[in-house]
Amino acid sequence: MSPSIKDNFGSEYYNSLPLFGDCLGELLAFFGVKRAYGVGGDFVANLINSLEGHLDVLPSSNEMHAGFSACAQAELNPLGLCLTTYTVGSLPCATAAALARTEGLPVVFISGAPGEAEVNSHALHHSVHPHTAWHTDLDAALNSFRALGVRAERLQGQRHSGQPNIAAEQCLELLSYAYLNRQPVFIEIPRDLINQPTQSLSLPQCPEQIAMNQPLSLSGAELIAKDIESKLKQANKPLVFLGEKLRLNSPLLTKIISFCHQHHLPYATSWFGKGMLDESETLCLGSYNGAFSELEGKHYIESQADYILELGTAIFPSDTNNAFSSQTHAIDTHGHKTMLRGTARWERDIEAVIDLLLQTLPIGEAIENTQEKGREEEHKEKVSSPLESVTLGYHNLADTINQAQRQLTNPYIFVPEVGSSLFASFELETQASDIGRSYLANPWYAAMGTALPYARAIADQLADANSLQPILVMIGDGGFNFQANELINLQKQAANVTILYMRNNIFHLGKAGDAPIYSCNDQGFDPRLLIQAYGGQGHLCETTEQLTHCLIETAHKGGLHLIEVPTSVEAGHQSETTKKLNTYIGFRNGDPQATQKWNELCGTN
């Protein structure tokens, strides 16, 4: 007979072993997780009960939305957490997992699973296989997540009566992997493991020590810094271009901004990095994306900059973030630049170079007067020039919101939905935020339906910070109908959210015909009545003046508001970015007229 753990290692050791459910709660708290988003179910019930004493286990309207809220959570914290039941719960999270994989977000997808004692020749109702199958397939969810490139494992129970299980250690390794690599992981936990003893863990004092224990193996930082310093000294109009990797590395971003201000260097970011910078800063030129950009600093970036220091951009460029491969992105094609994209974990190689540059003598005094004073005059002019009251549309939406925001005590945190709202939002002025980000969007625009789940996670984060910052969701009627069921949770939160509902009753972005598939709404639908059912207030705005006043009023009142804006589909009422994007989509689909317009736009005719 095999010995028990107590017989094998003694009573004192056995009594010191924690139950796995408690150990998991402590592990998640160690990584700074304060809440999980999810949907309950039979196989995850034990896990929910064990986590309740360690963090808030919050409901979502469905599993996909739980995954999206966890993605937003991971944008603002070391880890995001989504909790579901076996297969029927975890498989709907595949879209959110693909988003996390694409955007490099450390989201932990945890699914309950059948207990190890339950696995036999009988088919489980939750398993994915037909009634004609000759064998049971218990790994459908694991294989689905693995197919996305997500690390996916099922925790293991006791394999020998004299040895405690290794589930806690296995879980620590997976959470550390997500934390260090900024990638999602999927963990299936058999439900009979929750109340079983597991090996005790010895944790460091904080998660940062895990990262610190990862040495930088690369050398040559001194040589790179010396070369950059030399080039900056020779430049008359330098530019620092900050990539999207830095949005998840706030300590390094803070260092780089300090370096820019120390040496009076103008800086800009990519579309995917929007919201990580305070664009009211005099040296900030905004978010740039080639021909699609509509920003004041565009002339400096494209026509004046004579040296570019590019930091933290993607190793493999994305078409969305690099002017849709139109060859109009001046950063991509600039002939005199240094690219330090960050090939080490947590961009430690970039940090090593920046630390050395911060020790150098001032190198940019020559541009201080021209660039900073010019930006100060622009800011004064913006504040003193009210907009004329005209019909509202996407073409003047950003200007109107910017005008309203300048009159608010607390600036907005913007949450644009995929579609015309997203591409109009790049002209918004993002300012400092109490949670470190003033703009959160899903740039992987194949996944519609993230704005309201994102707003939920942002509202929770603001509540933790005791912040009064308002959230402004910009959304079309198509995107809204994807996710309106999430309103119930915004109501529960008493969230300070204004939803700008742009109504044209069709999926307009990329529309290439008149098939019924483009119709997303009914003329009789009244969203203002719907928001009342969720305890909010509805408003109608048709002019820029009405929207300005309404935004100021709703931000002052707080609570849940929906502002309906009737939106024309005529070209003159679309944002410049959307008009260019629709032209691009038509060009990629082979439309002759769109091809001609696109070639004219890119100067290839």
- Three-state secondary structure string covering 492-541: HHCCCEEEEEEECCECCCCCCCCCHHHECCCCCCCHHHHHHHCCCEEEEC
Tokens of 429: 């002025």
Q: Looking at per-residue confidence, does 509 or 450 come out higher?
A: 450
Look up residue 490 and give its two tokens: 């915004």
Could you tell me which of 419, 403, 399 has the C-alpha nearest to residue 411?
403
CATH architecture for segment(s) 5-212: 3-Layer(aba) Sandwich (3.40)
SS3 311: strand
Over residues 534-546, the mean pLDDT reads: 96
Q: What is the DSSP string of 526-583?
A: -HHHHHHHTT-EEEE--BHHHHHHHHHHHHHH-SEEEEEEE---SGGGS-HHHHHHHH
510 vs 71, higher pLDDT: 71
What would the mean pLDDT of 544-573 be, rounded to a whole number? Answer: 93
Report the alpha-carbon distance of residue 542 to residue 563 in Å, rounded. 10
Q: What span, in angstroms and rounded, lies between the C-alpha atoms of 145 and 67?
A: 13
Distances (CA, A) of 70 to 35, 74, 112: 9, 6, 17
Report residue 516's pLDDT band, with 50, 70 and 90 as the boundaries. confident
Going from the C-alpha of 467 to that of each of 72, 414, 438, 522, the distances in angstroms are: 17, 15, 13, 38
The one-letter code for the residue type at 428 is: L
Q: Mean of the pLDDT values across residues 523-546? A: 95
What's the confidence (pLDDT) of residue 511? Answer: 65
- pLDDT surpasses 70 at 259: yes
Top-confidence range, 12-16, 48-52, 358-362, 585-589: 48-52
Taken as a whole, the chain contains a residue count of: 605
Average pLDDT for residues 489-494, to the nearest whole number? 94
What pLDDT is stored for residue 125 in this prediction? 63
- In this prediction, residue 122 carries a pLDDT of 66
Higher pLDDT, 409 or 316: 409
Q: Please name which of 36, 209, 190 lies closest in space to residue 107, comparing C-alpha atoms.
A: 36
Q: Quick one: residue 412, left, alpha or beta (phi over 0 = left, psi -120 to 50 = alpha)?
A: beta
Residue % of the chain over a pLDDT of 90: 65
Residue 188 pLDDT:
97
Q: Edge to edge, what strands does the sheet with 185-190 contain?
A: 56-59, 35-38, 80-84, 107-113, 185-190, 151-154
Mean pLDDT of all residues belonging to the chain: 89
Query: How does residue 507 score in pLDDT terms, banded at 50, 70 and 90?
Result: confident
Q: Are 412 and 438 in contact (CB under 8 A)?
A: yes
What are 364-403's pLDDT values in tens digits? 554 444 445 444 444 444 554 566 789 999 999 999 999 9
Strands 307-311 and 337-340: parallel
First-to-last alpha carbon distance for the chain, in angstroms, is 84
| CA-closest candidate to residue 85, choices 42, 139, 136 | 42
Query: Please, where are the H alpha helices in 385-507?
Result: 394-405, 420-425, 451-464, 477-483, 487-493
**DSSP 8-state assignment for residue 368:** I
Q: Each residue of 423-439: pLDDT tens digit?
A: 899 999 999 999 999 99
Whether the pLDDT of residue 404 is over 50: the answer is yes
If DSSP codes are grouped into helix, strand and coil, which group holds residue 59?
A: strand
In 3D, which of 597, 596, 592, 579 has the Cα closest to residue 292?
579
Q: How many helices (H) and strands (E) does the chain have?
A: 24, 16
What is the CATH architecture assignment of 389-574? Answer: 3-Layer(aba) Sandwich (3.40)
- Looking at residue 295, its pLDDT comes to 87
Residues forming CATH 3.40.50.1220 domain(s) in the chain: 221-371
Residue 545 has pLDDT above 80, yes or no: yes
Residue whose C-alpha is closest to residue 421's, from 574, 249, 211:
574
Which of the residue ranges 104-113, 324-333, 448-457 would you say has the lowest mean pLDDT? 324-333
451 vs 1, higher pLDDT: 451
**% of the chain residues with pLDDT over 70:** 91
Instruction: Please state the rounded mean pLDDT for residues 189-211.
Output: 90
Burial class (CB in 10 A: 0-12, 13-18, 19+), 308: buried
User: What is the location of CATH 3.40.50.970 in the chain?
Assistant: 5-212, 389-574
Rounded Cα distance, 576 and 565, in Å: 19
Given the candidates 3.40.50.1220, 3.90.850.10, 3.10.20.740, 1.10.3720.10, the CATH classification of the domain at 221-371 is: 3.40.50.1220
